[in-house]
Amino acid sequence: MKFRTFAAFVGPSIFLMVLFIAAPLVTVFLQSFQLNQPIVERVEVETCTPGFPAQKCVTEVKTQPLLDENGNVRTTSTWVGFESYANVLQLDRVAEAISDGRPGRILTIDFWKALRFTLTFTLVTLPLVIGVGLAIALAVNNLTRALRGQIIFVSLLPFIITPVIGALSIRWLFIGDGILTSLLESWLDRDISMFAQGWTIEAMMLFYRVWHVAPFAFVVFYAGLQTVNQDTLESAIIDGASRWERLRYVIIPHLMPLIVFIALIHLMDAYRAFEEVVGFSSQAHRITLQWLTYDYLTPDDSGNRSISRASASAMLTMVGIVILLIPLLRRSWRDHRGG
Amino acid sequence: MKLKTLAIGVALSLMSSGAYAACSFENTTPIKSLSAGFEAWKSVTDAMAECGNFEAELDQEFRTKQPSALAANPALYQIGGVSNGTVTPLLNEGLIRPLDDLIAEHGQGLSENQMIKIDGKTMAVAMMVNTQHLMYRKDIFDEVGIEVPKTWDEVIAAAQKIEEAGVVEYPLGATMKSGWNLAQDFNNMFLGYGGSFVNDDSTPNVNSEVGVKALETMKKLTQFMDPEYLVSDSTYVQQQFQQGKIAMANLWASRAGAMDDESESQVVGKVHAAAAPLAMEGGAPATTLWWDGMVIAKNITDEEAEAAMKLIVEGLDTEMVKANNDDAIWLIPGYEPSRLAEGAIATVNASPAPASYPSTSQMGLMHTALGNELPAFFTGERDAKATLEAVEAAYVTAAKEAGVLE
């Protein structure tokens, strides 16, 4: 291909990637080493508020930001090195917990609590998504043609539903005296509260993610199954290979690049899990790294937000994803070179 | 036949959209508002919409959207619905305008008590007061034979009796959803025990005997609650009441009207209200006082501001209050306190009276720190002392970052 043609095709995509991915990434990276603070003053303010029957006035000293002549808050920005990272990681408290001989304490620190859950979430759902996706693909592939269309449609439904809505619907099935909780209660004849302890919420969140993502794996695997070499399969049958052996030695090796692809996508997706925390309101019990970043960014009632810590936490999340992806990327790279 | 139905439909919709009869003028400037979404806001914004060209956004997440929406130039909303807890960033960043001139010109119907004055300038018009106070099922209390509790110790005793009588699923409900709600519940109890959140030099002051006492009382109460209390917000508690699942709760006065809403509630007329219980003898009721009201953005034209003011006056008139009397503890002339308002009025007039929610930059940071760190105490991961230490550590980090602490 001529370079000009190549550039014309790739150019717009590169431009958008720089604009929407690279540039924000650089800003976040810089912000994570910076601290933007309003310049504050302490002033005495008289506030009159309604009372019964007459108004009440109080005079207090309040901390207020200074405004410039245009009415904007005056801020200073300073380079603080790794201070924001230290505030997110809280390594001093980690060291303290270890030296006290109570390493369990580490998991009460937001970042480590989030990391623990995010990793469990990612690594537990990964084999389940691949397994369930493959199982549905094999099942559909062995169905009579007449039923395939309908089954494919039904199994794709969870994937079509907007993530937050999906999470909310599962939450409503179980919260309080939800339909499924009531059913379980009458079946097991005991009181069940799915949202009262961490592990049940965790189980629901894992279930939800597998339910939501498995159809994607299914579609990809199903497409892959159509390209399995029938001659190889036939010769395997003639050689007396059982169904399991055909799966193990013919089909799975053939699908391996697709399995790596699904794993890559799923690791990236699951590591930045967020909808589950919001959908299941699991903040009290389980949080994810992405939610932590969001929480830093959310302004409180007085308008304070922690941009620097949010940036640091976002960078740490990205570093985490890269570390998780290294083995898979190395494998793809080897295949690529070998092929 | 079909055509006829259609014609009637069109006629009906024309009637409803063109019926500005309830409004004294026709509004020609497009105005938008952003406010919380509870019943009182629906009533007020509906009354304002009768004047035409008015669009209301009711959103419980308004508090996080409002500062940035009003900081835009021109502001995305001309009118903001605020409470004493959420007006602080708007004031601090200079995003709302003084209303004195507009009120002098258009605000004849408003009473002096409604003006929120900061250093003598009216920055907001209040419409109602709000507070968390005791709501209880009078029928259950009569059946079991208990008096209305005046202190939290009495609440625990009453809950015990109700549980033994087995008349209701859970004796208690509480707005203890992790985050803002849980922190606010702690604030109530902490203030009830006479605590103060920060020292004069902005250093934290919750890791104290008072803090531990507040947490321990809260923990004692949780044994009478639905075990899922850490996901239970105001709406959840309101529904628990409406569905007859709980016998009492320290709930927002703005939720009281829903108890008598026949389309939702199975306990119409059975829920009564009393003052918020005391945490300790001789103290103030363990709660905070709030007001809700409206502000006008600074970054809009004077013409828009004038139209906004006229709409506010229209929305907060006696006619609206008469039609929606039980939706809130209105500050507007014409309001008749009903059975459900008794609790809020008793709370406000208690002696000593509870404090207003201390809305400051420091309190905002403290509220967030509490909301994030307290759940670990209730899930049993940490004891009270360690939890309060973590709250203070989180506060200090955030306060240094926000520049309020050296």
Residue B241, min C-alpha distance to chain A (Å) = 13
pLDDT at position B20: 43
Size of interface A-B (CB pairs under 8 A): 163
Residue B190 sits in the same domain as residue B334: no
pLDDT at position A303: 82
pLDDT at position B57: 95
Question: Does B6 reside within a domain?
Answer: no
3-state secondary structure at position A177: coil
Give yes or no for residue B8 having a pLDDT over 70. no
What is the bridge-based pairing of β-strands B121-137 and B271-274? Answer: antiparallel
Residues of chain B contacting A292 with CB distance shorter than 8 Å: none
Separation of alpha carbons B102 and B309, rounded Å:
7
Residue A161, min C-alpha distance to chain B (Å) = 24
Q: Does B148 touch chain A (CB under 8 A)?
A: no
Residue B203 sits in the same domain as residue B332: no
Question: Does B12 reside within a domain?
Answer: no
Question: Does B13 reside within a domain?
Answer: no
Residue B43 sits in the same domain as residue B82: yes
Question: Does B83 reside within a domain?
Answer: yes
Residue B282 sits in the same domain as residue B295: no
**B38: pLDDT confidence band, cut at 50, 70 and 90?**
confident
pLDDT at position A62: 87
Stronger pLDDT, B16 or A225, i.e. the higher one: A225
Residues of chain A contacting B395 with CB distance shorter than 8 Å: none
**B51: pLDDT confidence band, cut at 50, 70 and 90?**
very high
- Compare CB distances from A283 to B64, B179, B361 and report the shortest one's residue: B179
Residue B232 sits in the same domain as residue B360: yes
- Asked whether A239 and A233 are in contact (CB, 8 A), the reply is no
Give yes or no for residue B18 having a pLDDT over 60. no
Q: Which residue of A has its CA nearest to B397?
A: A87
Tokens for A136? 């549905």
CA distances from B401 to A72, B234, B346 (A): 19, 31, 41
Mean pLDDT, chain B, integer: 90
Separation of alpha carbons A219 and A105, rounded Å:
43
- Picking from B200, B190, B195, B188, the residue whose alpha carbon sits closest to that of residue B132 is B188
Q: What is the CATH number of the domain that holds B268?
A: 3.40.190.10
Residue B121 sits in the same domain as residue B138: no
Separation of alpha carbons B191 and B88, rounded Å:
20
pLDDT at position A323: 93
DSSP A106: G
Residue B266 sits in the same domain as residue B144: yes
B367 and A196 in contact by Cβ < 8 A?
no
Residue A64, min C-alpha distance to chain B (Å) = 6
Of B341, B362, B382, the position where a domain reaches its end is B341
Looking at chain B, the whole-number percentage of residues with pLDDT higher than 70 is 95
- Picking from B251, B238, B247, B239, the residue whose alpha carbon sits closest to that of residue B138 is B247
pLDDT at position A339: 57
Between helices A110-141 and A252-271, what is the axis angle to 10°? 150
Q: Does B235 touch chain A (CB under 8 A)?
A: no
- Compare CB distances from B363 to A53, A54, A302 and report the shortest one's residue: A302
pLDDT in single tens digits along all 339 residues of chain A: 788 999 999 999 999 999 999 999 999 999 999 998 888 888 888 988 887 767 888 888 888 888 888 778 888 889 999 999 999 999 988 998 899 888 888 888 899 999 999 999 999 999 999 999 999 999 998 888 888 888 888 888 888 888 888 889 888 898 878 888 889 888 888 888 888 888 999 999 999 999 999 999 999 999 999 998 889 889 998 988 888 899 999 999 999 999 999 999 999 999 989 999 999 988 889 999 999 999 999 888 888 888 999 999 999 999 999 999 998 888 888 877 875
- Picking from B50, B187, B77, the residue whose alpha carbon sits closest to that of residue B132 is B187
Residue B95 sits in the same domain as residue B141: no
Q: Which residue of A has its CA nearest to B66?
A: A303
B368 and A65 in contact by Cβ < 8 A?
no
- Compare CB distances from B402 to A37, A195, A284 and report the shortest one's residue: A37
Number of structural domains chain B divides into: 2
- Picking from A265, A335, A290, the residue whose alpha carbon sits closest to that of residue A117 is A290
Q: Which residues pair with residue A73 across a beta bridge?
A: A67
Instruction: Give the mean model confidence (pLDDT) for residues B79-104.
Output: 92
pLDDT at position B5: 52
- Picking from A100, A227, A85, A213, the residue whose alpha carbon sits closest to that of residue A155 is A213
ipTM above 0.85, yes or no: no
**DSSP letter for each residue of B160-214:** HHHHHHT-SSEEEE----TTHHHHHHHHHHHHHTT--SB-TTS-B--SSHHHHHH
> B230-249 as b/e, with b when 16 or more CB fall inside 10 Å?
bbbbbebbbbbbbebbbbbb
CA distances from A324 to A220, A264, B313 (A): 22, 9, 59
Quote the domain boundaries for residue B306.
Answer: 21-130+291-341
Question: Does B396 reside within a domain?
Answer: yes
Instruction: Give the mean model confidence (pLDDT) for residues B176-180.
Output: 92
Separation of alpha carbons A284 and A281, rounded Å:
8
Residue A324 falls in which region: left (phi positive, over 0), alpha (psi -120 to 50) or beta: alpha
- Asked whether B255 and B238 are in contact (CB, 8 A), the reply is yes
Give yes or no for residue B13 having a pLDDT over 80. no
Stronger pLDDT, B351 or B176, i.e. the higher one: B176
Residues of chain A contacting B200 with CB distance shorter than 8 Å: 61
Which residue, among A109, A195, A304, A307, would best test binding to B if mutated, counting the most B CBs under 10 Å from its CB?
A304
Gyration radius of chain B over CA positions: 23
Site of tokens 């892959």 = A224
Between helices B361-373 and B384-402, what is the axis angle to 10°? 140
Residue B258 sits in the same domain as residue B301: no
pLDDT at position A103: 83
Domains present along chain A, CATH in parentheses = 103-338 (1.10.3720.10)
**B229: pLDDT confidence band, cut at 50, 70 and 90?**
very high
A63 and B362 in contact by Cβ < 8 A?
yes
A65 and B93 in contact by Cβ < 8 A?
yes
